[in-house]
Structure 1
Amino acid sequence: MTLLQAILHATAFRSPLLRTLVPTVALAYGVQAAVAVPSIAAKTETYYDLSGSLTYLSCTAFSLFLPYLRARSAGYITGGLTEYLSAPGPGQGAWFWRQAVLSAAVGLWATRLGTYLFQRIKADGHDSRFDSIRNSPGKFLGAFFAQATWVSLCLLPVIGVNALPRAAFALTRIEKVTTKIPTAISASPYWTDILGIALFVFGIGVEIVADRQKSQWVTEKKEKKHDEDFLTRGLWSKSRHPNYFGESTLWTGIAVAAGGLLVRNSAQVGLGLGGVSGKIAVLSMCAVSPAFVTFLLLKVSGVPLSENKYDKRYGDRKDYQQWKENTPMFVPKLF
């Protein structure tokens, strides 16, 4: 038995959702543990953020491929992933573009942010967040496992969509589950698809622009083109943390698109769910993602660390106090 066959056998749960969710979460913790060991030994956080992005990429790809690998292993399909995603079975709609689009959205975000953060720490040489835990193996390991938890919770909507098996909507199977055949999922976008993708594009756009404005500001300061102590231009004049607002918004978009699909009867049957409890379960899965991201940004590692640092440095300055008073902390002011 190969390693892949062993994994498929060990995670062959009755629930299609658990078949993808459990091994994907296990992979997240495995990747983080693999990076944590050498990082703790070297007492360096250089690869911490980069490993987070790599975990997002690997878990997203794994959750996308896993149902295909199960189908291929069972002999249900002999072609490649493209055929699996594009050739619907009896009674199915050609809806698989949603899996590819949401997975690509996560991949785009993770690649961009991971590259940006890695370049930043290479330039700075350290990350002040780790000053108090870098020399404590237990606390440092906890940071990596916390990152695995972050990845797992944020990816819940995408894992749910990717967990939908290709054969789940075949009429022969649906007839055994319910006396009323659910309407096949449409290949045309639902309004939740449009809204979700629009929110994602808007959110990642805000995050990219905000990060670029800050990078340019830092570069200009190093080149002595200005002597400003804190950034108040561009999007940073509309919000004190526009990059965090953008990140919260893009995950909200992914959750909206995924939730709009997973509450539909055909998707519920595909995941082995049903009734009000099934809809509540998938909506909760989707809501956890942006809620957890926003909680982290507002209460844990984002806004509090930044605000406390700048308050200590410039809290007694009138220009800083005026900027804080006139600039919203999170949601940008439009006018």
Structure 2
Amino acid sequence: MDPFLVTSLIVTLMAFTAIWLIHVPLEDAGIIDYYWGPGFAVIGWSGLAFGAESSGIKLALLGAITVWAARLAGQLILRHGLMNGEDARYLKMRRSGGPQWWWRSLYKVFLLQAVILWLVASPVHAIVMAPSSAALSFVGIAGMALFVAGLAIETVADLQLYRHRLSGQSNLRTLASGLWAYSRHPNYLGEIALWFGLGLAAMDLSGAWWALAGPVALAAVIRFVSLPLTEQHLMDSRSDYAAYAARTPVLFPLPRTQRLTTDPAE
């Protein structure tokens, strides 16, 4: 394995272990989400700090990743601030994990997410490992355009959801306006789009096909793990969600004429 890959894995494992130590007295595993975005930026910038070749294109791409990471971290911090205590996902694990959960959470939550982040970071690894003379072709430029589009979708969707939560209506009715009128999870849609865009740019710059492995893995986790869990929680907690789901695609927007005849689960 390339020394940079080993180093980035060690750095990521150490970071998540440190967050776990902080979470133990707080009894709030939700703080792990704060590092999800910044973790990718840390991998990229630490790679250059540890001696990888630098270039203007690499700096621009890592800068774009950093902007996305900062926005995501800020949004998750704001969201967590509106919660009454620990995130429901982690609270459920804590209640069912028993008195030994405090240390079991190290490998069941924190180190597991560290490995997932490291695997999803394949575009970041490819960018750092690319030669300094490499340049983007039309494919890479198109990939960055997709990245920007995905970031815009995700940003607008999160802003609309944040305003809905601030209104105090989030527990009473489902947000069904704005981007949420076209997709039940436009924030996830934007996340998938931007990662595939970054993967295309990284593959174009480095010539490494595995730069797309992370975006594919992320899309699979979102579609087959995160979405089903979120959907079930919303069905159980909101009386109007079934009707909303019946008329709105779960992820990819469809023409209005197709919505009523499309399976809500796509």
Task: Give the alignment's TM-score, normalised by structure 1.
Answer: 0.69
Query: Map of 1:125-204 to 2, 5 A cutoff?
Result: 125-134=85-94, 136-141=101-106, 142-164=108-130, 166=132, 185-186=134-135, 189-204=136-151
Structure 2 residue aligned with 1:105: 64
User: Residue 313 of structure 1 is aligned with which of 237, 244, 254?
Assistant: 237
Structure 2 CA distance for aligned equivalents of residues 159 and 235 of structure 1: 32
Q: Deviations over 1:268-311 (max 9, x none)?
A: xxxxxxxxxxxxxx21x2121111111221122x3122210121
Consecutive aligned runs of 4 or more in structure 1 exceeding 6 Å deviation? none
Instruction: Measure the CA separation in 2 of the matches of 1:321 and 1:308.
Output: 10
1:294 aligns with 2:219: yes
1:333 matched to 2:258: no
Which structure 2 residue ranges, 5 or more long, are not aligned? 257-266
Going from structure 1 to structure 2, the CA distance change for 1:230 and 1:34 (only over 3 Å counts) comes to: same
Paired residues of 2:20 and 2:110 also in contact (CA < 8 A): yes
2:192 aligned with 1:248, yes or no?
Answer: yes
Q: Which runs of 5+ in 1 are unaligned?
A: 1-14, 69-83, 86-95, 167-183, 264-281
Of residues 23, 35, 46 in structure 2, which corresponds to 1:62? 46
1:208-248 deviations in whole A, cap 9, x for unaligned? Answer: 000001111111235xxx99511110100100000001001
CA distance in 2, matches of 1:320, 1:332: 17
Shift of 1:161: 1.9
Separation in 2, partners of 1:334, 1:251? 24
Which of 11, 17, 20 is the equivalent residue of 2:4? 20
Question: Which amino acid is 1:312 matched to?
Answer: D
Output the CA distance in 1 between the equivalents of 2:156 and 2:219. 19
Q: Partners of 2:164 and 2:92 in 1: how far apart? A: 28
Alignment of 1:210 with 2:135, yes or no, is no
CA contact (8 A) 1:64 1:99 kept: no
Q: Structure 2-normalised TM-score?
A: 0.85
1:25/1:214 CA distance change after superposition, 3 Å: same
Deviations 1:164-209 (A, max 9, x none): 355xxxxxxxxxxxxxxxxx645xx411121110110000100000
- Is residue 204 of structure 2 the alignment partner of residue 260 of structure 1? yes
Q: Deviations over 1:94-153 (max 9, x none)?
A: xx2221122112211111111111121122132011013236134421211122112211
Opposite residue 240 of structure 1, the aligned amino acid is: R
> Per the alignment, do residues 221 and 122 of structure 1 end up closer, same or farther by CA in structure 2, a change over 3 Å counting?
closer
Distance 2:171 2:23 in 1: 36
Per the TM alignment, residue 20 of structure 1 is displaced from its structure 2 partner at its CA by 1.5
Aligned residue pair count? 249
CA distance in 1, matches of 2:202, 2:40: 17
Letter in 1 for 2:148: V
**Whole-Å separation in 2 of the counterparts to 1:46 and 1:157:** 26
CA-CA distance at 1:46 after TM superposition: 4.2
CA distance in 2, matches of 1:290, 1:36: 26
- Decide whether the 8 Å contact of 1:40 with 1:140 is kept in 2: no
Contact 1:193 1:256 in 2 (8 A): yes
Q: Does 1:324 align with 2:245?
A: yes
Supply the distance in 2 between the matched residues of 1:215 and 1:162 (Cα, whole angstroms).
34
Q: Distance in 1 between matches of 2:60 and 2:113?
A: 24
Instruction: Letter of the 1:297 partner, please give it.
Output: I
Cα drift, residue 64 of structure 1 = 2.5
- Report the Cα distance in structure 2 between the residues aligned to 1:56 and 1:161, rounded to whole angstroms: 12
Paired amino acid for 1:330: L
Distance 1:164 1:260, change over 3 A: closer
Cα distance in 2, alignment partners of residues 38 and 313 from structure 1: 31
SS of the residue corresponding to residue 131 of structure 1 reads: helix
Report the 3-state secondary structure (helix = DSSP H, G, I; strand = E; otherwise coil) of the residue aligned with 1:221. Answer: coil
Q: CA deviation at 1:334?
A: 5.2
